[in-house]
Structure 1
């Protein structure tokens, strides 16, 4: 089991102080913004008054502990605590599907380890209804009033997936999603995750969720492979409040997919990944719907993107009323990036972008951005094509903002109080064809 004993669960304020001198890097206005809470915490999770019984998960050294949990679940699907006790490292070698839960708390006070053998995991994922070792949905009736909580003790409560052995060989066959959490009135708090194979939290089936105080450490090891597709939160659900999290990974810190509605992501620290993302939307001509999204008070440290929107050519639908504000970027090549030309390098060359429909974008706001743009030569870890998938034709590398849009598809895009400097000292630039945006304005300050 890999531990990080020096790292405890932290709020954004303590995370910034511990992260390469970021406190001195923040403007006073951004520091003040870190403590803002703009919406009330939803009434979610299990009420302790409802708990009438507890199941303490047994552990057998050298054996799979999942069957004992699965066998006991029928008697603990309501008004119960399911306890992985402190001081024990449990072997979760087969997926556990928690379904039809009502008023249940799952307490991860012990450590959990997934199989260390790659072929074993691939076989399980390939044959399973669920591709998540811990599944609180799994295509079953969604649970209600469910809390998934970790431990405040930095020495225990870790989930280790042994991801580097996958990353080092770029093995992307039958990879598991770590935690699928699809509930109504749910809480995810104080969870600690290390070395995920791929995606971490999938909450797109949730309605009325509060996720806070979670710590994800899926950083690339020195000399090791890149942790592809290790998204922090996949958040296409409704009425989600995700805050006070530390996410260090190799893909989107948060990504809001189609179906996302009334989602707030705030007061968090992101390192090494691909940004605060909406999308991708419209793949294969699908119809997307995302609206009423607020992303604020976030530090983006050595990410590829800061604020990011991505939709595929030929998609349909709309993304509407989306705000990114109070964002601090450090060494980020693309601080603000909007594209309707997204593509997947694993699926072949970039598609033809002539003609077809596109996902509409309306009422996007980018406000109060500060920090540094990385405009020195680099090759990001996910680059496996030439040119790299993030290459932008005609860009100089000094662009603070890139709006890659089709005519007649975008309305009311606003950027204001953008105070980002390049590492080289070159004056920052904006890449945008004004004819593609209706009723828009851009006010760039303090260059």
Structure 2
């Protein structure tokens, strides 16, 4: 009997060891950064492990390659997840990805920390986060043209989805979308202090068919900024604040800037921001068109400029008074917008003298001054008489161009 017990114990021990090995092994087509010697202590540089895991995933010849960042803290940077790849890529990101205090940027791509590019049918999902450790660089960011790394850039990404991840304390922009088509971003969380400079939540440029939904953004600049050469951008269910609001622009600064059309911003909540919904063009600009915008079902809470069109944008203050924006704004609808303004002027329409705004429509607007609940005022310049539907407060007096 006594001789049998050690044998049984040995067999059980062998069984458990084998079971652990089986559980630890990644299934075919799965590329776990742990398998490439990543260390989840938040201090060890795991850049090479992340890059090696990506090289293996991108070269996988099966139908799907799954890139896994498990729970834990990984110091990484920079990393370029660049395609094209033969397999459909799935990123399961549950860990905390942390930038080093001194961040070397990608070769020939100095504005990026984490880069996804040239991929089709990609999926990024999980509860993981990307912490850019921006606090150490913000004092040097003086809005003087010097560019700091973006947390995450999606470049030439088509027919893809990004869901659930977080971006924290970016050094400059949190997320940049560039030359993408049919990209959906949903249930994201983006956070940085109100005082962090140039930390736009999501910036979109040269793209089409971009959808942002059910996302919380609090940062030091625009929650969502829609730049030039964009078509078909939809923003719904976004909670914005602090920050500078949801903005189109600034537009018209460069000769190659192209039209921005078909924009929908709906069912959003904007709180304690510098602006609510905004269209901004340079006072001295190249010609382009802004057309077919809808801002609908938006709640403002303590917002300095709830509704603003500013075609006199000149941050340096050195633009000649004789210049007038060559950006043409038309067919813009503001509807079901209510809440409180933090300043006496809740609606500001400063359009171009040479290209007056046309086709503006206001329906069911109720914006009160937060002080005493009084009705706020409006300012209107160079606007062809807008369409008024239902009660619009503050009232508009835009009778001419």
TM-score bracket, normalised by the shorter chain, equals 0.7 to 0.9
Match of 1:99?
83
Q: Distance in 2 between matches of 1:250 and 1:129?
A: 24
Alpha-carbon offset, residue 168 of structure 1: 4.4
Q: Distance in 1 between matches of 2:383 and 2:323?
A: 18
Structure number with greater Rg is 2
Match of 1:390?
none
Q: Distance in 2 between matches of 1:352 and 1:370?
A: 36
Q: Distance in 1 between matches of 2:293 and 2:109?
A: 34
TM-score by length of 1: 0.74
The answer for unaligned runs of 5 or more in structure 2 is 1-26, 395-401
Q: Distance in 2 between matches of 1:193 and 1:294?
A: 24
Alpha-carbon offset, residue 74 of structure 1: 3.1
Q: Distance in 1 between matches of 2:248 and 2:330?
A: 13
- 2:174 counterpart of 1:193: no
Moved more, 255-264 or 90-99: 90-99
| Higher RCO structure, 1 or 2 (CA under 8 Å, sep 6+) | 1
Over 3 Å counting, the alpha-carbon distance change for 1:231 and 1:403 in structure 2 is same
Of the candidates 85, 93, 97, which is equivalent to residue 108 of structure 1?
A: 93
Of the candidates 125, 130, 138, which is equivalent to residue 105 of structure 2?
A: 125
Q: Distance in 1 between matches of 2:267 and 2:229?
A: 23
- Secondary structure at the residue paired with 1:71? helix
Alpha-carbon offset, residue 430 of structure 1: 1.3
- 2:146 counterpart of 1:161: no
Alpha-carbon offset, residue 232 of structure 1: 1.2
Q: Distance in 1 between matches of 2:379 and 2:298?
A: 20
- Secondary structure at the residue paired with 1:250? coil
Runs of 4+ in structure 1 deviating by more than 4 angstroms, as ranges, are 168-174
Q: CA RMSD in A?
A: 2.1
8 Å Cα contact 1:230-1:252 kept in structure 2: yes
Moved more, 362-371 or 280-289: 280-289
- 2:40 counterpart of 1:63: no
Query: Which structure shows the higher strand fraction?
Result: 2
Over 3 Å counting, the alpha-carbon distance change for 1:158 and 1:359 in structure 2 is same
How many residues align? The count is: 350
- 2:339 counterpart of 1:371: yes
Q: Deviations over 1:56-106 (max 9, x none)?
A: 0132354321112223433312521111111x2111133334331451011
Q: Distance in 1 between matches of 2:123 and 2:308?
A: 35
8 Å Cα contact 1:358-1:409 kept in structure 2: no
Of the candidates 123, 129, 148, which is equivalent to residue 147 of structure 1?
A: 123
Q: Distance in 2 between matches of 1:131 and 1:257?
A: 17
Q: Distance in 1 between matches of 2:321 and 2:261?
A: 25
8 Å Cα contact 2:291-2:332 kept in structure 1: yes
Moved more, 280-289 or 247-256: 280-289
Q: Distance in 1 between matches of 2:192 and 2:243?
A: 10
- 2:301 counterpart of 1:333: no
The answer for unaligned runs of 5 or more in structure 1 is 1-50, 152-156, 221-225, 376-397
Of the candidates 174, 178, 185, which is equivalent to residue 211 of structure 1?
A: 185
Alpha-carbon offset, residue 170 of structure 1: 4.2
